[in-house]
Chains A and B, each alone.
Chain A
Amino acid sequence: MGHLDINVTIEYDNFTLDIKQQLPIQGITGIFGHSGSGKSTLLRIIAGLIKDAKGDILLNKKTLFNSATNSFIKPEKRNIGLVFQDSRLFSHLTVKGNLLFAATRCKTSKLTFSDIIELTDLTSLLDKKVTKLSGGEQQRVALARALLAEPELLLLDEPLSALDKQNKSLMLTLLNKVQKTLNIPIYYVSHSLAELQQLADNLLVMSRGEVSHFGNVHQIIHQLNNSATIQQQTSLSLPIQDHLADYGLTSLRLNDAQQIYLPLLEHSNLESSSEKQHVNDEVKVLRCFIFASDISITKHEHSGSSIVNHLAAKITHISAQQRNTLITVQCQQQVFYAQISLWSTQRLALKIDDDIFIQFKASAVHTLNNRGEKTSC
């Protein structure tokens, strides 16, 4: 596995970016941070669109720039793709013209034009003017155009932020499919943790121009639960066990004896999962998250409850937060986070190592398509 070694500093009037981090050139690496944290600046430095940084960046041990030796590879020579927040299509060209712009300048030929058109479902749009496309279509063209340049590394700078919920969902499914099919390493910048939770393998968190966290996406989201910068949640990646269409439920396999139920997955999710299985011969896996505020705790199992998810667990950590308590519990190998009131914590006399039950409704399990208008950050 290759690496991108970043050691850069850049100073502006009221902001300093100072990053020293090694990132994998594999899978999808999410870059998360609130507005002004420096994530887009970092991406532009990697792309070569910002020249005046100090330090060096090495892509698979090849120097992209080194301020000490005054070496700088121009953006057009770096073989790095970038999809911008606004699609930046060339308005004087048709969809096909935009795609050919990239294809004719590509020096390798691993991917064919027709493969990318088919993958991104652009066949019917080829002769259209780009100004006549919807926002979602424009971003699909921008993605296909970037892919046709066959980059060694693809950077995505908040590509979904201008899209509506339905187009976001479609684009996330497409990005997942693209990454798995073409195996192009992707760095995905977003201020939406929900998007990154669905896509990223690893997560880099930036705060005030510095890296605050880096690691496996689920582990980092769980670490962020203690920093009060996100809405506290349990991030899960579980195999799909069954679809109970008659009851409108899908079950995920938590461990040998326990399942988690959520609302029946919509068509696009099922399709995405089956494509994953087809491409990588993996088990169908679904990413989902549950807000800590949606999980409650009981000392005894309530067999008569309408709530479908009841899981036996052990308390491993209790953290008081103003009027609430964040309870960390272990359910065999899986950690869960429950946020309950301080009053309930005292009333139930909860303490570390207590055996308890957590419970949550099926609708509390959020995926790409069923999470409604809620946001996870």
Chain B
Amino acid sequence: MFTQSPDLLALITTLKMAGVTTLILLFIGTPLAWYLAHLRSRYKVFIEAFVALPLVLPPTVLGFYLLLALSPQHLPGKMWQELTGQQLAFSFTAIVIGSVLYSLPFVVQPLQKAFEQLGDDVVDAGKMLGAGPIDRFFHIVFPLTKASFITAASLGFAHTVGEFGVVLMIGGNIPGETRVLSIALFDHVEAFDYAKAHALAISLLIGSLILLALIYLLNYQRPAEKV
């Protein structure tokens, strides 16, 4: 099915977008999840609601406002163009920005839950043994919540792979730049090429199923142990 270069290109773009997005999500989602897990404020619910918004918001709504923000007529897009000399909307960077926002809850929520369950007890024990914050994270927190990190990364990756609305709104359909698998599938359907559409659809379906099964298997084998 990938003998034709447009679909292969779409697959590479998709994997690249999902990979970069997942790395960024882990980088910004981990401190955000830690902050939310330890925040004791009445305003916490508003931040949580903002993070969870992509779960209920139609992707086209998020895509529409991002399109406006990233266009040269508005400050973020204007600043980007002044700095790089290139337009931000309809670029690979734009679909990564959109994907990060769209998949944010899929990374932040499992991590926040894991940090809340872990609590402060073992972290305090680490402090009393002379471990600093970075040391505590990599040698206590991360090993004890590793399964949740794998879950968060897998969900973030899988959700990004399946993106359509946001990518279409802010990325368009530029082969090799913003044309991802879900858009390629839509193109095949529009062209009544159901055989190719079916090949892509079944590949995405099986791939997602395998990924989810692996996540559940991992969580099943690693029940939380508390001493």
List residues of A whose CB falls within 8 A of some B CB: 47-49, 74-77, 79-82, 84, 86-92, 101-102, 105-107, 130-131, 138, 145-146, 149
Contacts and interface: CB of A to CB of B under 8 A. Distances in A.
In the complex, which of the residues A77, A92, A138 has the most CB atoms of chain B within 10 Å of its own CB atom?
A92
Contact of B128 (A87, A107, A146): A146
Contact of A88 (B121, B131, B139, B225): B121
A84 B125 contact: yes
Chain B interface secondary structure, helix, strand, loop or mixed? Answer: helix
Interface in B125-163: 125-132, 135, 139-140, 143-144
A125 to B, nearest CB: 14
Nearest to A74: B127
B127 A76 contact: yes
B130 A88 contact: no
Contacts of B127: 48-49, 74-76
B52 interface: no
Nearest to A80: B128
B163 to A, nearest CB: 34
Nearest to B145: A92
A84 B140 contact: no
Contacts of A82: 124-125, 128
B129 A149 contact: yes
Interface in B102-140: 121-122, 124-132, 135, 139-140
A90 B130 CA distance: 15
B39 interface: no
Contacts of B128: 47, 49, 75-76, 80-82, 146, 149
Contacts of B121: 84, 86, 88
Contacts of B132: 74, 76
A105 B134 CA distance: 13
B83 interface: no
A76 B136 CA distance: 10
Nearest to A145: B129
Contacts of B122: 88, 90
A96 to B, nearest CB: 15
B125 A130 contact: no
A131 B227 contact: yes
Interface residues of B, number: 19
B130 A76 contact: yes
B144 A91 contact: yes
B40 interface: no
A88 B144 contact: no
Contacts of A138: 227
A130 B130 contact: no
Interface string B192-227: 000000000000000000000000000000000111
B168 to A, nearest CB: 43
A81 B126 CA distance: 10
Nearest to A86: B121
Contacts of B143: 90, 92
B131 to A, nearest CB: 6
Given A130-B227, A131-B225, A88 B124 contact: yes
A218 B139 CA distance: 44
A106 B54 CA distance: 46
A88 B227 contact: yes
B227 A102 contact: no
A146 B122 CA distance: 13
B221 to A, nearest CB: 14
Given A49-B124, A86-B121, A101-B139, A91 B227 contact: yes
A106 B130 CA distance: 7
B22 to A, nearest CB: 24
A76 B139 CA distance: 15
Nearest to B128: A82
Contacts of B129: 76, 81, 101-102, 105, 145-146, 149
Contacts of B124: 49, 75, 82, 84, 88
B225 A91 contact: yes
A234 to B, nearest CB: 37
A92 B130 contact: no
Contacts of A49: 124, 127-128
A376 B182 CA distance: 73
Given A84-B125, A101-B129, A105-B131, 7 more contacts: A76-B129, A76-B130, A82-B125, A86-B121, A90-B125, A130-B227, A131-B227
A87 B227 contact: yes
22 contacts: A47-B128, A49-B128, A75-B128, A76-B131, A76-B132, A77-B130, A79-B130, A81-B129, A84-B124, A88-B121, A88-B124, A88-B125, A89-B227, A90-B125, A90-B140, A101-B129, A105-B130, A130-B227, A131-B227, A146-B128, A149-B129, A149-B130
Interface string B177-203: 000000000000000000000000000
Nearest to A78: B128
B21 to A, nearest CB: 29
Nearest to B142: A92
B222 to A, nearest CB: 10
Contacts of B125: 82, 84, 88-90
